[in-house]
Amino acid sequence: MAHSPFSITRFRIIFITCWIVLVGDNIMVLHFFGLPWQAAIIDSAISNTILLLACLLVMNTLRYYLPRGNQYINIFSICLFLTIAWLLLSKWLLKITLSHYDGYTDLLRHSLSIRFSIAFLLLGCVTLISILWYNQKDQKENEERKNDAEKLAKEAELFKLRQQLQPHFLFNSLNSINALIGSRPAEARKMVQQLSDFLRGTIKKEETQWVTLQEELQYLQLYLDIEKVRFGNRLATEIEVDENVSQMKLPALLLQPVAENAIKFGLYDTTGDTVIRFRATRENNNLVIKVQNPFDPETASPQKGTGFGLKSIQRRLYLLFARTDLLITEAKQNTFTTIVKIPQL
């Protein structure tokens, strides 16, 4: 439920000031038309207090019921009805309390139409202002809700993209460990450790967390070591990092899926040995990471280059930076290159 305008002190002060001014003006006018001070004060106090109550009633009603579209005629009717009720009530009270003053009954009768129009205008104004107030509040709340929903959806999406660890990788790694247990138990134990560290890494990091390139490369190394056990001599990697970039930052867990894609692409598209090259450099205020893998241009179908791995990276970069130009791929001769640019914030 929207807050009433009275929840804000400023509005309370304005409202009370307006009411005092109104009462004062009313007294002056009545006195000007020949009513003694005392009678003028009583008259003004009675009629304006009832009017104040009517205003509060309208404002409170609108808090729970906001007219939509063509229901404005209802508001008009309510204002009209309230004004008439106010007029009758105050006329009755004023007659009881003030009829002993000379000429007061006459004055009251003559001023009825003026009293009516002023009260109607005032009530109308208050109603209009309240409607505007509550409408604006409503809109603001809707917008906040929408923003919240969008934020939640974005977080969920990032989480999902990050979690899409290939089950293929996991089960094959377990299979390799199974094979090592019999023949080379020490290596099996080492691989269990690497796999655990790798999995722990995917769980503990927040999707929006930034890490240094050095940290991310350590994590990547775990992954590459596991893959090297799986594929044996077929897989080799070269990592080259410029001196001044190892402390530059990037979103956590961004590099591993790029490497995964390159390895999959490289290993499954060629039959020979595969070398995956990583190179990190600085370009203006960007961290630029270049990953190269071999491929066979004759058999690589065009869809393959934007396989799941890269699509999710593209999406993550878009969600983080609202840019689509941060991931570039190029295929030249037998080398497929993936370039990721990470603006430094």
Partner 1 sequence: MKVIIIDDEPLARSIVKEYLQKHPQLEIMQECGDGFEGLKAIQQHQPDLIFLDIQMPKITGFEMLELIEQPPSVIFTTAFDEFAIKAFEAHAIDYLLKPFDQQRFDKAIAKWNEQKSNTTEKATQDLLEVASQSPSQSQRIVVKNGSKIKIIPVHDVYYLEAADDYVKIHTSEGYFLKNKTMIHFEQSLDKEQFARCHRSYIVNVQQITRIDPYEKDNHVAILRSGAKVPVSRSGYGKLKEVLGL
Closest to partner 1 by CB, 96 or 186: 186
Quick check: 298 binds partner 1 (CB under 8 A)? yes
Quick check: 276 binds partner 1 (CB under 8 A)? no
Minimum distance between the CB of residue 197 and partner 1, rounded to whole angstroms? 20
Minimum distance between the CB of residue 290 and partner 1, rounded to whole angstroms? 24
Closest to partner 1 by CB, 5 or 294: 294
Q: What are phi and psi of 297, to 5 degrees?
A: -60, -20
* Residue 307, both tokens: 């396989």
Q: Hey, CA dihedral for 104, 110, 111, 112, is it positive or negative?
A: positive
* Residue 117, both tokens: 């129009």
Quick check: 186 binds partner 1 (CB under 8 A)? no
Closest to partner 1 by CB, 43 or 269: 269
Binding segment toward partner 1, per CB under 8 A, in 8-16, 81-89, 295-303, 323-331: 295-303
Query: For residue 106, which of 115, 96, 95, 116 has the smallest C-alpha distance?
Result: 95
Quick check: 271 binds partner 1 (CB under 8 A)? yes
Exactly one of 7, 68, 302, 345 binds partner 1 (CB under 8 A); that residue is 302
Closest to partner 1 by CB, 69 or 182: 182
**For residues 30 and 102, is the Cβ–Cβ distance under 8 A?**
no
- The β-bridge relationship of strands 335-343 and 286-294 is antiparallel
Residue 302: how many CB atoms within 10 A of its CB? 7
* Interatomic CA distance for residues 266 and 309, integer angstroms: 13
Quick check: 168 binds partner 1 (CB under 8 A)? yes
Exactly one of 105, 172, 212, 221 binds partner 1 (CB under 8 A); that residue is 172
Closest to partner 1 by CB, 44 or 173: 173
Quick check: 7 binds partner 1 (CB under 8 A)? no
* Residue 247, both tokens: 């402390």
Burial of 265 (0-12, 13-18, 19+ CB in 10 A): buried
- Please report, as residue ranges, which positions from 207 to 236 form the binding site for partner 1 (by CB under 8 A): 229-232, 234
* Interatomic CA distance for residues 208 and 320, integer angstroms: 8
Residue 230: how many CB atoms within 10 A of its CB? 19
Quick check: 267 binds partner 1 (CB under 8 A)? yes
Closest to partner 1 by CB, 219 or 265: 265
* Interatomic CA distance for residues 305 and 337, integer angstroms: 10
* Interatomic CA distance for residues 254 and 339, integer angstroms: 12
Q: Total residues at the site for partner 1 (CB under 8 A)?
A: 31
Minimum distance between the CB of residue 298 and partner 1, rounded to whole angstroms? 7
Minimum distance between the CB of residue 265 and partner 1, rounded to whole angstroms? 11
Q: Which residues would be at the binding site for partner 1 (CB under 8 A)?
A: 166-168, 170-172, 174-180, 182-183, 229-232, 234, 267-271, 296, 298-299, 301-303
